[in-house]
Each structure stands twice: as C-alpha cells, then as structure tokens.
Amino acid sequence: MVGTKADIGRTTLPRRQLGRALRDARQAGGYTLEQVAEVLEISRSSLGRLELGQNEKIKVRDIEYICRYYGLPDERIEYLKSLAEQARTKPWWEDYRDLVRPGFNTYLQLETAATELHFFQTLIIPGLLQTPDYARSVRPSASMDPSEESDWLVERRIRRSAILTRKHRPMRAEFLVHESALRTVVGSTRIMSSQYRHLADMGTRENVSIRVVPFTAGFPGGLAVPPYIIIDFPHDEPSVVYTEGAIGTMIFEEKDEVNRFRVIHEAVSGAALEEQRSRDLLRNMARRCEQ
C-alpha cells in the first residue's frame, strides 16, 4: 500500500512500470545488478534507479540493449520501449499541477495507462461521467480560487471523459454508483436532471456499465468501504486500487490487498440493480426533477 499526500515523488507511472518489468526480467534470468552493470558497462546506481523508476532521462536504445541482454521476446521489447517513450512525454495535465489536489496527479497517470476501470462511488458522480454543469457546480476547495478551479475542473472532465467515447479502443469501465450520490443535489434540480439523463445514455455504450447500488442494499461490501477504483493494465501489469479522501489518497498495490477489493467489489456488484433497471431509475429521477 502506498499512502500519499502528494504524488509519489517525481516518479511517473510509465517509469515505475518499466522499472518493475526490467527488475523482474533481470531476476528471472538470475542476474544481480552488479553482473548486469559490469557486462553492459552501466553503473550499478544508474541501473538501480532505472528499476526503481527514478531515472528521468531514459534512452529508448538503452532499454532495447538491456532487454536484448535479458533475452526478452520482440513483442515484450517493443512494449517496454513504448513505456520508455511515454516516460519521456509530458502529460497534458502537467501544466495544471498546482490545481490538482494532492495525489490525484498519480491517479491521472494510472487512468491514462489503464485498459479497464472498476468504480464504486458513494459520495459524488464519478468524474468521467460528470456533465460540464455538474462539474462546474462541485464546490471548489477552500485553498483555491473558485473560478480558476471551476474552469480547470470542467476542462479536465471533458478531456478525461473522451477515453470512454473515443473511436479507437475506448476504455472499458464499470461504475457502481450508490443511490446516495445520485440523491445529493449538486447545483440545481435542472443540473441533476441533465446529469441523470447523461448517466442513462452513457450506460447504453458497449464499453460502459453503469449500475445503481440502492439504499435497500444496505452495506454489501462492509460498513467502512470507501469509494475506490480498481485499475487494470495491459501486458499482465499488476492491478492497483486507488482510494481518496478530502486531504489525501491511498494506492493499494499488493496483490492480497487488490484481491480483497475485488471480493468487496463482487459483493457490491451483486447488490446493484441490473443495467436496464438502473437506466430506468435514472430516467425516472430526471423526469421528477423536471416536474
């Protein structure tokens, strides 16, 4: 488990994934850092920083050189080279670092690299599903200029939500949204009506599943289950779980911890309404707001 009140150092997700993959490949071959450093004429400290994801200046040709030495197949080498390219690319949200709440920058990296997302939200409509008016009406934090953060929130929501609607490989995402998040009026009933209809419409997409966890379900996942996101990655990269609160975030990376969240998620999923019933409920809620 990794607890953060800020992002995890200056380590970006692609560097961490690349470093873990190189370390696993080295250990699978039975090599020590000293052995590899001596043969490839790389300093042990540089190789160690690379495996920890702490090397900010990564050369793609060096990654290929190391991978060839480990005897990795071509497909795996190309994937690790792509991670090296990503590690050198500045993410689009980097210019807005000061507007991102503590820890969320790390989540944005995780989200960008993911192949599938599984949400459980009890407090607020998940950001990827928020309408611009809803996002604009979410109360800004006390430490930031309201208008500045509001503009950023809306822009961020629009850019992020494109991963669900893009034509090429749209993100697969499952959303379990508790009824309490739906019943909390943000902005106005007009805004909520539009938000309900947007949720119902998004739920018809093949890559998106939206289901409501009703009040009548009780606490299927346990009394103290916070909102969370289970994040799956390509190429058998280990999944992680992201949770957040008002002043910080937690990222669970250990396999046992992630599996515990999957058990919780299965319980919550079993108590949620089916997709069609969820869409019917959302559209009924929208109509009531319009009366």
Question: 159-198: string of b/e by CB count within 10 Å (b at 16+)?
Answer: ebbebbeeeeeebbbbbbbbbebbeeebbeeebbbbbbbb
Is residue 267 very low, low, confident or very high in pLDDT (cuts 50, 70, 90)? Answer: very high
Q: Is the pLDDT of residue 141 over 70?
A: no
Higher pLDDT, 251 or 197: 197
Q: Is the pLDDT of residue 26 over 80?
A: yes
Going along the chain from its start, the domains and CATH numbers come out as: 10-87 (1.10.260.40), 95-290 (3.30.870)
Q: What are the DSSP calls for the chain, one per residue?
A: -EEESS-STT--HHHHHHHHHHHHHHHHTT--HHHHHHHHT--HHHHHHHHTT--S---HHHHHHHHHHHT--HHHHHHHHHHHHHHTSPPGGGGGGGGSPTTHHHHHHHHHH-SEEEEEESSS--GGG--HHHHHHSPPPTTS-HHHHHHHHHHHHHHHHHHHH-SSSPPEEEEEEEHHHHHS--S-HHHHHHHHHHHHHHTTSTTEEEEEE-GGG--TT-TT---EEEEE-STTPPPEEEEE-SS-EEEE-SHHHHHHHHHHHHHHHHHSPPHHHHHHHHHHHHHHHH-
Give me the chain's average pLDDT, please. 84
| pLDDT tens for each residue of 167-191 | 988 999 999 999 999 999 999 999 9
Contact between 272 and 216 (Cβ < 8 Å): no
Tell me what pLDDT residue 146 has: 53
| pLDDT tens for each residue of 202-261 | 999 999 999 999 999 999 988 878 899 999 988 778 899 999 776 677 888 888 999 999
Q: Is the pLDDT of residue 143 over 80?
A: no
Going by C-alpha positions, the residue among 251, 205, 262 that lies closest to residue 6 is: 251
Q: Is the pLDDT of residue 272 over 70?
A: yes
Higher pLDDT, 14 or 284: 284
Longest dimension (CA), the chain: 75
Q: What pTM was estimated for this model as a whole? A: 0.73
| Sole residue written with tokens 């999923």 | 269
pLDDT above 90 covers a percentage of the chain that reads 49
